[in-house]
Amino acid sequence: MALLERRNFLKGMAASATAFGTGAFIPPLFADDESSRPIEVDLTIPSDVSDNEINTIYREIQTPYKYGIVLPQEDGDPVDSPNIFRVGGVWYMLYLRFLNKTGYVAKIAKSDDLLKWEPLGVVVPFRESGWDAWQCSPSAALVDYRWGGSYAIEPFNGKYWFTYIGGEGKGYEPDPLKIGLAYTDDPGSAKLWKRFDKPIMSPSDPDAREFEKTTMYKTSVIWDRDKSLGYQFVCFYNGKGSVEGKTAERIGIAVSNDLKSWRRYGNGPVIDNGSGISGDPQIVRMGDLWVMFYFGAFWKPKAFETFAVSRDLVHWRKWDGPHLVEPSEPFDQTFAHKPWVVKHDGVVYHFYNAVGDQGRCIALATSKKL
């Protein structure tokens, strides 16, 4: 079945998961207990992305020039996990601050040129009770994912939406962490977000899979108006759990039509490197292909940036060549990880978390020497 035919069919009805000659698939008809189990898809079908396609993308996204740190530690507190979006021609960065070694608070900064960043303030502070009292690591949802596009954050139902890692324990990412949802009417300011009282996804959900039953981490939520998977919103995230006795972090998918109610897609992860961490996915669209930036750690030395490519959002071919960004400078000599990548005015900007002689900071590598 051709891609266009499949998309038109998806728009008309939800059909049973049927494999076609091309390896395409359709979400199934749901039983009465549909929400208690993952949507069945065949994740064993290999990706048909060619050598030429993945090599072409690698040449496009290389950023060999390290510009350096763009957001240093704040009063000795580590900063981490950059997310970039645009409002009215101004660039904004969401990031976290590990405040007083107590937990994560969500912050926002702005820039006119992607190089000089001005912190604006906290958008999600601590609160003394609740499932997310002491942890909030933010992600911008519904950002224009087109490579070289506007990178605008798009409103849905009159609001701008964000997901976040939340937790009620103090310290550095104590288990379990869950995924929350927040919104604002002013995404380009430090106005406090409004949060929902309950998480939208949790390791204890009935359809949680083995790889995510310990804790859940960073998300990338895209608005797929073609409903390639039968839903308009698709969430990629990494979870921690034990699969066949091996504890690791792997990347999986969930789908939704309203951002509030989510269902897992597939019985397992779509990115699994067997050990260590595969995490912090960012999804972009390059022509007819999807590209997932993510970081790897400990299944190869240290922590580094890499990517995978897909034709259908589900079956991914992992890059096994040189890392996109890896430790090489004093400021990132320990870890270079947690990507957010944009292309603007012909330059690729690869933001990442750098751990080295200046602590845990946010750094930048580029495709051209600036």
Check which CATH number belongs to the domain holding 272 and give it.
2.115.10.20
Selection from 92, 93, 85, 91 nearest residue 362 by Cα: 93
Position 36 scores a pLDDT of 79
Please report whether residue 19 resides in a domain. Answer: no
Please report whether residue 208 resides in a domain. Answer: yes
pLDDT digits (tens, 9 = 90+) for 192-242: 999 999 999 999 999 999 999 999 999 999 999 999 999 999 999 999 999
> What are 362's two structure tokens?
């946010």
pLDDT over 50 (residue 26):
no
Query: Mean of the pLDDT values across residues 172-179?
Result: 97
Using CB atoms within 10 Å of the CB of residue 29, give its burial: 0 to 12 exposed, 13 to 18 middle, 19+ buried. exposed
Domain assignment of residue 212, given as a range:
50-366
Residues of the chain with pLDDT > 70, as a percent, come to: 91
Cα–Cα distance for residue pair 370/353, rounded to 1 Å:
19
Q: At 169, give phi and psi (nearest 5°).
A: -95, 150
Q: Which residues of 66-98 are buried (b: 16+ CB within 10 A; e: fewer)?
A: bbebbbebeeebbbbbbbbbbbeeebbbbbbbb
DSSP string, 111-127: ESSSSS-EEEEEEE---
> What are 9's two structure tokens?
């069919």
Position 91 scores a pLDDT of 98
pLDDT digits (tens, 9 = 90+) for 112-171: 999 999 999 999 999 989 999 999 999 999 999 999 999 999 999 999 999 999 999 999
Position 33 scores a pLDDT of 63
Position 303 scores a pLDDT of 97
Query: Mean of the pLDDT values across residues 269-284?
Result: 97
**CB proximity list for 35: less than 8 A, separation 6 or greater:** 206, 207, 261, 263
- Counting the structural domains of the chain, the total is 1
Please report whether residue 57 resides in a domain. Answer: yes
Sign of CA dihedral 333, 321, 252, 92: positive
Please report whether residue 119 resides in a domain. Answer: yes
Please report whether residue 40 resides in a domain. Answer: no
Do residues 37 and 207 touch, judged by C-beta distance below 8 A? Answer: yes
Which amino acid, one-letter code, is at 370? L
Position 28 scores a pLDDT of 42
Please report whether residue 63 resides in a domain. Answer: yes
pLDDT digits (tens, 9 = 90+) for 70-114: 999 999 999 999 999 999 999 999 999 999 999 999 999 999 999
Cα–Cα distance for residue pair 356/304, rounded to 1 Å:
13
> What are 219's two structure tokens?
């998300």
Position 283 scores a pLDDT of 98
pTM of the model as a whole? 0.90
Confidence grade of residue 4 (pLDDT, cut at 50, 70, 90): very low
Position 46 scores a pLDDT of 95
What are 254's strand-pairing partners? Answer: 235, 264
Position 251 scores a pLDDT of 98
Mean pLDDT, the chain, as a whole number?
92
Please report whether residue 18 resides in a domain. Answer: no
Query: Mean of the pLDDT values across residues 286-300?
Result: 97
Position 2 scores a pLDDT of 42
Please report whether residue 194 resides in a domain. Answer: yes
